[in-house]
Amino acid sequence: MKPKNILYIKNMVCNRCIKVVKEELEKLGVEIKNISLGEVETEQSTETLPLVKIKEVLEKNGFELIENKKAKAVEKIKSFLIKTIYENENVISETHKYSQLIEKELGLDYNYLSSLFSAQESITIEQYIILQKIERAKELLKYGELTLSEIAYKLGYSSVQHLSNQFKKITGFTASQFKSMTKNMRKPLDKIG
């Protein structure tokens, strides 16, 4: 049986989000045992928490408490992919595909998860991965510390050309055009998809 002391929260996509959620929940007297992207494990049972107040404070800060089981699974997929793409770069290789990693992380059949994700988000998991990787590529290009070849490797692309083609298709710009632009055209992670 699943633990009754985990809150699932939509739009937690970065460390700053974790900090905000942690601070706001602690103000409400919630004792946090562990917090990560999309999940807050509490010391007390969720049934004893002030859920109405929690929902209100989360919504004021751009988050949402997820209570639907299917929506929780989709949010877990999104949080896992963001973490994998942004923090655990180079984990995707020929032997480890995203589908295998997602299936292992959630303990559910990938085909089921893929159908669920598409129904909830109106895009496929694969499209979501591409959008996240392009956002990460934009970030890395703006930093200017890595070559396009290094970025392609870091994000698990088979070649620079593959990254370049996807980048142009998604953004409408070549990587070098984007890099030379002064206006930052990145999207917040919770607005992708």
In a domain, 146, yes or no: yes
Any idea what the CATH number is for the domain that residue 22 is in?
3.30.70.100
Let me know if residue 110 belongs to a domain. Answer: yes
Instruction: Write down the pLDDT at residue 90.
Output: 59
- Pair (62, 99) in one structural domain: no
The beta-carbon contacts of 114-122 under 8 Å, at least 24 apart in sequence, are 116/70, 116/73, 116/74, 117/74, 117/77, 120/70, 120/71, 120/74, 121/74, 121/193
Task: Please list the residues that pair with 41 across neighbouring strands.
Answer: 6, 34
In a domain? residue 192: yes
pLDDT category, 45, cuts 50, 70, 90?
A: confident
pLDDT computed for residue 94 by the predictor: 42
Q: Decide: 44 and 5 in contact? Cβ < 8 Å.
A: yes
Q: Please count the structural domains in the chain.
A: 2
| Percent of all residues in the chain with a pLDDT value above 70, rounded to a whole number | 90
Residue 83 lies in a domain: yes
Same domain, 105 and 179: yes
61 and 81 housed in the same domain: no
Check whether residue 42 and residue 122 sit in a common domain. Answer: no
Q: In terms of domains, do 76 and 163 share one?
A: yes
pTM of the model: 0.74
Beta strands (DSSP E) in the chain are 6-10, 32-36, 39-42, 64-66
124 within 8 A of 168, measured Cβ to Cβ: no
Kindly report the length of the chain: 193
In a domain, 173, yes or no: yes
Q: CATH number of the domain that 91 lies in? A: 1.10.10.60
Same domain, 62 and 92: no
Specify whether the backbone of 62 is left (phi greater than 0), alpha (psi in -120 to 50) or beta. left
Query: Is 90 exceeded by the pLDDT of residue 25?
Result: yes
Q: In terms of domains, do 37 and 129 share one? A: no
Look at residues 67, 82, 104 and tell me which one is the last residue of a structural domain: 67
Do 60 and 72 share a structural domain?
A: no
Range of the domain at 14: 6-67
pLDDT at 2 over 60: no
Mean pLDDT (whole number) for 132-145: 90
Q: Rounded to an integer, what distance in angstroms lies between the CA atom of residue 65 and that of residue 9?
A: 5
Q: Are 44 and 81 in the same domain?
A: no
Identify whether residues 44 and 88 lie together within a single domain. no
pLDDT mean across residues, the chain: 87
CB 106 within 8 A of CB 76: yes
DSSP code at position 108? S
Give percent above pLDDT 90 in the chain.
52
| Interval 143-164: pLDDT, tens | 888 899 999 988 888 889 999 9
Are 21 and 52 in the same domain? yes
pLDDT, one tens digit per residue, over 54-96 is 999 999 999 999 888 888 899 999 999 998 888 866 556 544 5
